[in-house]
Structure 1
C-alpha cells in the first residue's frame, strides 16, 4: 500500500545556510579587517531601513555603535571569516566604515587595556 503525504502536512526545510553561500563562495574580503578593527555605521546606513531579517541587516544593526569585528561576529552568530567578507561588502557599499583603533607609542595604558578587553570579549563570544 502506497503512503501518500497529506497536502496540509508540513515538510521541514533546512534552516541553516552554509557560510560560503552567504559570501558567494568568497573567503577573503577586499577590506583588511583584523578582529580588533572597530566598525561603525555611516549616515547612509540610516537612509535605508534595516529590518534585521537577513545577515546584512543584522550586521549593520550590530554596528550602531562602534563595535569590533570580533564582537560583530559574536552578536550575529556567524563565523568570523563570513562576517569579515560581509563587512567588507558593506564598507565598499558605503554603509559602514572602519574607525581607527591602532595604538601608537603615545597610547595610554587605559587605551591599550580597553582594546585588549574588547578584543577578548569578542573572541570569547565567538
Structure 2
C-alpha cells in the first residue's frame, strides 16, 4: 500500500489553532475578497482568497479548498483580520439556500 505524502495535517495549516478569531462565522456566512492575494499569504490562504473572488459561503469555501470546516473558519477569520476578506451574514435564508448548504456539507 502506497502512503499519501501530500496530506497536511489541519493543525499545521492553522498554526495549531482550532478556534477562529471571528466567532460569528456560520456555514451560510457570505465571504468575499476585497483585495487580491499577495505573496505574504500561505498557500492555503491564497486558495481561500481566490475562491472568494465572488461571494461564497463558508461551507462552500471549505469544500472548494478541500479542508475541514473548522480549518476554513480559522483561515477565513485570519484573512478578515488582515483585510483580504469581508464577511456578511444573510438576514434570512431561503429554503433553496438551506438545501444547497446541506448538500455541500454532506459532500464534505
TM-score for both structures, normalised by structure 1: 0.72
TM-superposition CA deviations, 1:63-113 (whole Å, max 9, x none): 01111100100001001101100100000010001123121xxxxxxx512
- Choose 1 or 2 for highest CA Rg: 1
Q: Classify the secondary structure of the residue corresponding to 1:34.
A: coil
1:69 touches 1:84 (CA, 8 Å); kept in 2?
yes
Alignment length, in residue pairs?
103
The CA distance in 2 between the partners of 1:124 and 1:71, in whole Å, is 11
Structure 2: gaps of 5 or more residues: none
Partner of 1:121: 103
Partner of 2:67: 78
Structure 1: gaps of 5 or more residues: 1-11, 104-110
Structure 1 runs (4+) deviating above 3 angstroms are none
The CA distance in 2 between the partners of 1:13 and 1:117, in whole Å, is 34
The CA distance in 2 between the partners of 1:13 and 1:97, in whole Å, is 35
Deviation at 1:16, TM superposition (A): 1.6
The CA distance in 1 between the partners of 2:77 and 2:65, in whole Å, is 16
TM-score for both structures, normalised by structure 2: 0.83
Deviation at 1:114, TM superposition (A): 3.5
Check 1:116–1:30 CA distance in 2 against 1; reply closer, same or farther (3 A cut).
same
